[in-house]
A and B are shown apart, each in its own frame.
Chain A
């Protein structure tokens, strides 16, 4: 499994765009990049998954450069309710989902 590195914490303000970058220098050819969100007292929730370039859904966008050694989760116009821990996971279709420490995002008024 590719090792991932993300910032431990980030602060933002309501209405701002938040970009959380994840480094995965040893990503393998068959690996996908998946992001989960975890609110306090809840289980993680799938946000988005991508392999290359850009993926967008109703919640977020995922930007993946050509070398795939990093990825950026972009949350448009965050609100207080986006305060959560965000996990970046990298692996192929046969890998288990192994969570790291994640990034604790705090959105302030």
Chain B
């Protein structure tokens, strides 16, 4: 069973479109995250939710909006996509309210977003 699963794996879309990436974890973790890995391979944290409550919101354009219907799901919706949004987006989860150093992060395999 996949612990942290993201869909879709690949997403190709045009500028200006709105798209969503879904993430689900079956580990029973309380905290979920979204990270962005750009072409230079730097992984940057975007958001984190603990029990459906937003606890980290980095300097990310308002076009990005996370949605957590329950603690096992954290979806990422992106409005008005731009070329610079092209990247790999990773979902992750961890136990408790810890932010990674308290309990290891478990990552999904990423969603490669290409905006043309």
Q: Which residues of A contact B (CB under 8 A)?
A: 31-32, 34, 36, 41-46, 49, 85, 87, 89, 91-102
Give chain A's interface secondary structure class. Answer: loop
Known contacts A43-B110, A44-B105, A44-B107; 9 additional CB pairs below 8 A are A36-B105, A43-B4, A43-B109, A85-B41, A95-B100, A96-B56, A97-B45, A99-B35, A99-B44
CA distance in complex: A1, B31 (Å): 20
Q: Which residues of B contact A (CB under 8 A)?
A: 4, 35, 40-45, 48, 56, 90, 92, 98-102, 104-110
* Contact present for B105 and A93 (CB under 8 Å): no
CA distance in complex: A43, B37 (Å): 10
* Contact present for A34 and B43 (CB under 8 Å): no
> Contacts of A94 on B, CB cut-off 8 Å?
99, 101-102
Q: B42 touches which one: A31, A34, A36, A99 (CB < 8 A)?
A: A99
* Contact present for A43 and B107 (CB under 8 Å): yes
CA distance in complex: A101, B42 (Å): 6
CA distance in complex: A34, B101 (Å): 7
CA distance in complex: A87, B44 (Å): 13
Return the 5 tightest CB-CB contacts between A and B, nearest first: A43-B107, A97-B100, A46-B104, A99-B43, A93-B102
> Contacts of B45 on A, CB cut-off 8 Å?
96-98
